[in-house]
Amino acid sequence: MCCATGVGGDWDRLAALREEHPQTILASYGLHPWWMDGAPADWKKQLEARLDEHCAGIGEIGLDKGRRCAVPLAQQAAVFSWQLDLARERHLPASIHCVHAWDELFRILRGREGQRLLVHGFGASGQIARELARRGVHLSLGGKLLGMSQDRAQAILSEIPMDLLHFESDFSGPPSAPAPTLEPCGVPLVVECAARLLKKDEASFGTETAAVSEAFFSTTIPS
Ligand SMILES: [Zn+2]
């Protein structure tokens, strides 16, 4: 299981959690757009120190033009690009958070072909899913899928090749979705929903997509 974080305080908690469960937890550290304003002045140094200790990836990092984020987009883009460069330098996968900023994301991703990138909590459209997949960007689906119309969910799922498809527990969608989708134990609910929509056998579909995630974060999986 890979746990992504967004800010310094979380980094400490995640490091402790990984120490407790070294065979289960893969840690991913990054500065999320929501927390950029409150980040310590030396956050870059702190992040690099985390990566030196242990890490399976960089993230969550990204862009957010939603109401929850007041950080100017230019500032977000600079912080995001710096972290993407760091991921490339260290051959690490990056988990991307993107809200209403797809044009900017595609602009920043230009020239980054070959980097291992994953857009998490995807819930935009089939067309954007297709554009991301065309660039080799992985997509991760969470509880949002359960609150979508069947048509929309199917439009998204049908655009994501199996070797780019992941599932996750992070979720900030409609309150009608089952509460467990916020916890790792809720991931099977999302997998079950996707398998049903794609008319696949749930057990083998779950095994196949878990293998995709394992390969994505493969360089640092504990032996
Ligand atoms: Zn996110």
What is the Å distance from ligand 1's center to 19 Cα?
Answer: 24
Q: Is residue 181 pLDDT above 90, yes or no? A: no
At residue 176, the pLDDT reads 61
pLDDT in tens, 5-44: 777 678 888 888 898 998 888 899 999 999 999 899 999 9
What is the Å distance from ligand 1's center to 157 Cα?
Answer: 19
What is the Å distance from ligand 1's center to 192 Cα?
Answer: 22
Q: Is residue 221 pLDDT above 50, yes or no? A: no
- Residue 161 contacts by C-beta under 8 Å, 6 or more apart in sequence? 133
What is the Å distance from ligand 1's center to 100 Cα?
Answer: 12
Given pLDDT bands bounded at 50, 70 and 90, which one contains residue 180?
low
The pTM assigned to this predicted structure is 0.91
What is the Å distance from ligand 1's center to 169 Cα?
Answer: 11
At residue 9, the pLDDT reads 75
Whole-number mean pLDDT of the chain? 90
Domains of the chain: 58-220 (3.20.20.140)
What is the Å distance from ligand 1's center to 62 Cα?
Answer: 8
Residue 95 CA, chain-centre distance (Å), reads 4
What is the Å distance from ligand 1's center to 61 Cα?
Answer: 8
At residue 219, the pLDDT reads 63
Q: Is residue 179 pLDDT above 70, yes or no? A: no
At residue 177, the pLDDT reads 58
CB 115 within 8 A of CB 87: yes
CA distances to 10, 11, 21, 156, 181 from 191, in Å: 27, 28, 24, 14, 11
What is the Å distance from ligand 1's center to 60 Cα?
Answer: 6
